[in-house]
Amino acid sequence: MAIDFYWRLPTHGCHSSLRTHDYDRGDWSPLRPGNIAPGPASDGGADQFAYIDHLSQIAKAAEGAGFLGGLIPSFPGTEDPWVISSLLARETSTFRFMLAFQPGFGNPVHSARAAASLQRLSGGRALFNIITGGGGPSQLWWGDSFSHDDRYGRTREWLDVFRGVWGGGSFDYDGRFYQVENAGLAPLLANEEFPEMWFSGSSDAALEVAARHADYYLSWLEPFDQLADKFDRVKERTARLGGEQKCAIRVDLVARPTEEEAWREVQIGFENVSEERRRTRTRGTDSVGAARQDALRPADATRYDDLIVAPNLWGGFNLLRGGPALGIVGSYEQCAERLDELIALGADGFILAGTPHLEEAWRVGEEVLPLLGQSGVALLQAAE
């Protein structure tokens, strides 16, 4: 069975290494000597190498290194994934764009038309990471005051309508959140391939909607037994509806020639984190997935190795950069073995990431992916 490998595009800025905590790539931190995209110009301002130029380099590197495409995260402080995809589509040839999108932030018929346009104009390279919001302050920042489970109700209806209008024809829908009459994409757009839906969310409400609409159920990395249990639960629900569920994992790697070098990188990063930051917990979110990640990182950890959760699994990544806590640290061979184990427990796809995203796309593509399957499990589907 072919396994899909994607890379992540850091739409929130990037670090030149895990040792630094200010973003020195992109303009999310003050401009200093050594920053890039933009960097300092001789007149004291910023040079002309913009962050979109850097994202383009990452997309091209990932494309060249054998990844199918990239996840484009969406947060209040990032640029918009639809816009980024449209620009990068002209700079790449096979790279697929996985747009993180919160249904409900766009009318489903209008979104279907925009997605079909992106399919048509990019040669069928669009797909989605459906996210249903972490709640809390940032949900209100978007003007969204729906409760956690109502948001999933809306996501389900949104996906019903998005799918219903896709093939053209005349589609009617009378739901709680959406009513549509006689809708359907115009013939030119209706023939486009329906985009794959990668679906995130760890709550019961999320698993219920995933079972109906997800091509891939997507989770952050968790301890392997916990993850296997979650995959089994969503597979069971999909099977009850007569379908078969594929699963996927979003995970950061620190992959180095030796295990010692990989842990050394993490140790230096951890030792550069302030004590105050080490004690900080995720706040203001109703996300079950985020709570599961937080539980992996005790606030009283004083050494990097207090956060080793299992061989090659480290629970402190969200101290070094934003995002989930758990990731993989090890030699190239060990990283490939852990990925093989995840394939064996039911992963059909991965979104991998590493810092800095540009250089690590090449490293992981050249050094880790070719080792997959050598511990006895399945295979990479390379970009053609």
Site residues (vs ligand FMN, CB under 6 A) = 73-75, 100, 129, 131-134, 200-203, 206, 218-220, 250, 287-290
Is the link from the previous residue into 195 a cis peptide, with omega within 30 of 0?
no
The CB-of-328 to ligand FMN minimum distance in angstroms stands at 15
Nearer to ligand FMN, 227 or 307 (CB): 227
Nearer to ligand FMN, 13 or 184 (CB): 13
Nearer to ligand FMN, 121 or 288 (CB): 288
The CB-of-203 to ligand FMN minimum distance in angstroms stands at 3
Nearer to ligand FMN, 13 or 289 (CB): 289
Nearer to ligand FMN, 198 or 263 (CB): 198
Nearer to ligand FMN, 92 or 129 (CB): 129
- Cβ atoms within 10 A of the Cβ of 116, count? 24
Nearer to ligand FMN, 148 or 256 (CB): 148
The CB-of-184 to ligand FMN minimum distance in angstroms stands at 29
Look up residue 298 and give its two tokens. Answer: 């005790």
With tokens 């995209």, the residue in question is: 37
Give the length of the chain: 384
The span from the CA of 176 to the CA of 191, in Å, is: 29
Residue 99 vs residues 70, 83, 172, 264: alpha-carbon distances, Å = 9, 10, 27, 34
Nearer to ligand FMN, 133 or 365 (CB): 133
The CB-of-227 to ligand FMN minimum distance in angstroms stands at 11
The CB-of-260 to ligand FMN minimum distance in angstroms stands at 30
The CB-of-199 to ligand FMN minimum distance in angstroms stands at 9
Is the separation of the CB atoms in 326 and 222 below 8 Å? yes
Contacts of 33 (CB under 8 A, 6+ apart): 40
Q: What share of the chain is helix, strand, coil (3-state, %, to 5)?
A: 40, 20, 40
Q: What are the backbone dihedrals phi and psi of residue 128, each rounded to the nearest 5 degrees, phi first?
A: -125, 145
Nearer to ligand FMN, 220 or 270 (CB): 220
With tokens 């991965």, the residue in question is: 350
Nearer to ligand FMN, 90 or 142 (CB): 142
* CB-neighbour burial class of residue 288 (10 A; exposed 0-12, middle 13-18, buried 19+): middle
3-state secondary structure of 299: coil
Q: What is the DSSP string of 30-70?
A: ---TT-BSS-B-TTSSB-S--HHHHHHHHHHHHHHTT--EE
The span from the CA of 293 to the CA of 130, in Å, is: 19
Residue 298 vs residues 220, 266, 283, 303, 324: alpha-carbon distances, Å = 18, 17, 15, 11, 14
The CB-of-249 to ligand FMN minimum distance in angstroms stands at 8
Residue 290 vs residues 106, 115, 169: alpha-carbon distances, Å = 24, 28, 40
Give residue 17's region: left, alpha or beta (phi > 0; psi -120 to 50).
Answer: beta
The CB-of-282 to ligand FMN minimum distance in angstroms stands at 10
The CB-of-349 to ligand FMN minimum distance in angstroms stands at 11
The CB-of-100 to ligand FMN minimum distance in angstroms stands at 4
